[in-house]
Chain A
Amino acid sequence: MLAFLIRRLGQALVVMLVISFLSFSIQDELGDPLRELVGQSVSEETREKLRDEMGLNDPFLVQYWRFLGNAVRGDLGTSYFFKRPALEVILGKLPATIDLVIAATFWILLFSIPVGVFAAIRPDHWFSRVAMGLSILGISIPVFLTAIFLIYLFAVELGWLPSYGRGDTRMLFGGWETSLLTRDGLRHIFLPSISLASVILPLFVRMIRSEMMEVLEAEYIKFAWAKGLRKRRIWMLHAFKNTLLPVITVGGVQLGIMVAYTILTETVFQWPGMGFMFLEAIHRVDTPLIVAYLIVVGLIFVVTNTVVDIIYGLVNPMVNITGQRNEP
């Protein structure tokens, strides 16, 4: 287990290095930060002096090296707009985004497994056909359209649910605020989480269905029938456990990708998370915040992937993450 973690940590470091390099290298292409920092009235000489002071005129690699040195100490630069450390700004927005991702994951797990499994067992049933049709629809409709439609229906026409904001939050340990523990917060997160899930959920349903249908054709499933086992056990244990393996690998990555989808959802619902913040940072050419965001999202991705690999190893007996050799 330890060897596995050390190996993964090494890989993660390399990935993070590449991500940091790519994120850092786009900052020159985003426009002149001085234009946002100082007013129109400041002369070009003063601007040039400021650039020198901020180190913006140094060669790229020197700047990158300085950035890396600071990053290792937890300093990802200072946001031009907020005048606070970029990491601090992002961490302040992180809980809202995590709330959203957790709520969307909840919808995905709640519906994809039963619907996917049912559609695999009874592919000709009317419910399976309807579900498959809807899933194509869900995948094809962009998140922001789903979001706007949901707002129109539930907030504008029916007036059942709020259309923007986070609502009441409750403080957890370490200043972490969550909307998931208050009634008002849950009402607010309902529509955003459904729109966020609307693309990934149908993907999960289709994936579980097709993997399970393939597994149901396997010899060991025929053997399970020939052993006289009950249907429920064959489907829920013999077939489903094998279905899980590919679903975990692909699905885990999808959940990571969802962090990226939050940009759209948070913007439509004015959800005060880091996706919404990122879009604002782009408008303001807040370069340090943009770079810091990309690095934090990259880190979330790397961590998700590692967790997925560990879970995969626990489900699949053919993968041994404890470091012992596993041969016949």
Chain B
Amino acid sequence: MALLSVKNLGVEFELRTGTVAALRDVSFDLESGERIGIVGESGAGKSVCAFAILNLISKPGFISSGRIWFKGNDLASLDGESMRRIRGNEISMIFQDPMMTLNPVLTIGTQMVETIRTHHPVSLDDARNIAVEKLKAVRIPSPETRLEQYPHELSGGMRQRVVIAIALLSDPGIIIADEPTTALDVTIQAEILELLLTLCNDYHVGLILITHDLAVVSEVTQRILVMYAGRIIEQGTTREIIARPSHPYTEGLIGALPEKTTPGQPLNQIPGVMPSLQDIPSGCAFHNRCEFAAQRCRSDLPRPTDLESRSVACHFPIRD
């Protein structure tokens, strides 16, 4: 059985104008030690999905349906204290902007030690030793000195390493990384990705990598979920999906990569914008941007259907 199994997950936000569904019918599995990527445009529901797994959707949002199975518990209905014991302990999270993730008025040491001690009954000295060990693992030079420093004394790349070290503190089964390299310099992006990949292998950690960058996903993950307007529209192995996308949207995303364009030519793009969650069109949410759209796409919602080794939610998937 999979380590994490998300079944028909739905998240809704109760706004003054009415209820808006940010996540609909999302289902996927994560095996122990597996690395999956969730890709999509801004607003597709990637981050909502990440926060929902940790049951950290804040008001006015809430999990409206579905189950999140993890080690025999349903995280969607777990009580507050049990859920707290899972966060940062069995499932950790890495945030997008390392400049904003660490508390500016607390030392790195404080922020690491508190994380260990809230989950494990260890002494202050032992906790500091664990912190130093993890800082070494993320290749931060002179870790003992770092513990005494404040976040503003470290560069962006260093801070993201600290955040990764914090995520690793309790040897979690899963790390959810929400756009971990987006806010970093391109040169540092590659280092951080490589580090993340190595650590996941060394510690046998499952990874859910959330990004809008297909290049990043293809380097790090084994499987991809493509999200559009709150739904997963295609999922399968990274290699297959990058090589032969079945959903027109996935194909559009891959076609929009700069390396798919001849230098000097305008970049390819998918015409139109993703609909706002408040007025998602009937039928397939992508139909008004899709070049293959037919009458059926406007009226009937395509269900995820297995197609060889992948699952696609499209009435007319692209075949070779």
Contacts and interface: CB of A to CB of B under 8 A. Distances in A.
B100 A328 contact: no
A316 B87 contact: no
A2 B150 CA distance: 23
Given A227-B166, A328-B154, A219 B100 contact: yes
Contacts of B188: none
A40 interface: no
Interface string A263-284: 0000000000000000000000
A46 interface: no
B274 to A, nearest CB: 24
Interface stretch (A63-71, A173-181, A194-202, A235-243): A235-243
Given A242-B104, A316-B105, A327 B88 contact: no
30 contacts: A219-B95, A219-B97, A219-B100, A220-B100, A220-B103, A223-B101, A224-B103, A225-B87, A226-B54, A226-B87, A227-B87, A227-B92, A227-B114, A227-B118, A228-B84, A228-B115, A228-B118, A229-B114, A229-B115, A229-B118, A233-B114, A233-B118, A237-B106, A241-B105, A241-B106, A242-B103, A317-B104, A317-B107, A317-B152, A326-B152
Contact of B150 (A220, A226, A315, A317): A317
A129 interface: no
B103 A226 contact: no
A318 interface: yes
Interface string B99-124: 01111111100000011001100000
B72 to A, nearest CB: 19
A174 B92 CA distance: 61
Contact of A230 (B84, B93, B102, B152): B84
Q: Which 5 A-B pairs have the closest CB atoms?
A: A228-B88, A228-B87, A219-B100, A227-B88, A317-B150
Interface of A: 218-220, 222-230, 233, 237-238, 241-242, 245, 315-318, 326-328
B100 to A, nearest CB: 4
A219 B178 CA distance: 12
Contacts, number: 81
Interface of B: 54, 56, 84-89, 92-93, 95, 97, 100-107, 114-115, 118-119, 150, 152-155, 158, 163, 166
Contacts of B106: 237-238, 241
B131 to A, nearest CB: 13
B87 A220 contact: no
Question: Max chain B CB contacts within 10 Å: which of A225, A227, A241, A326?
Answer: A227
B97 A220 contact: no
A321 to B, nearest CB: 15
B288 to A, nearest CB: 34
A229 B103 CA distance: 13
B153 A327 contact: yes
A242 B163 CA distance: 19
Contact of B119 (A228, A315, A318): A228
A226 B93 contact: yes
Nearest to B97: A219
Contacts of A229: 84, 88, 114-115, 118
A218 B104 CA distance: 11
B227 to A, nearest CB: 21
Given A219-B97, A227-B115, A318 B84 contact: no
A222 B105 contact: no
A242 B106 CA distance: 10
A222 B95 contact: yes
Contact of B102 (A223, A228, A233, A237): A223
Contacts of A227: 87-88, 92, 114-115, 118, 166
Given A228-B118, A317-B105, 14 more contacts: A219-B97, A219-B101, A220-B104, A222-B56, A227-B88, A227-B166, A228-B86, A228-B89, A228-B115, A229-B118, A245-B105, A317-B152, A318-B152, A328-B155
A238 B115 CA distance: 13
Nearest to A225: B56
B105 A315 contact: yes
B34 to A, nearest CB: 21
A230 B54 CA distance: 15
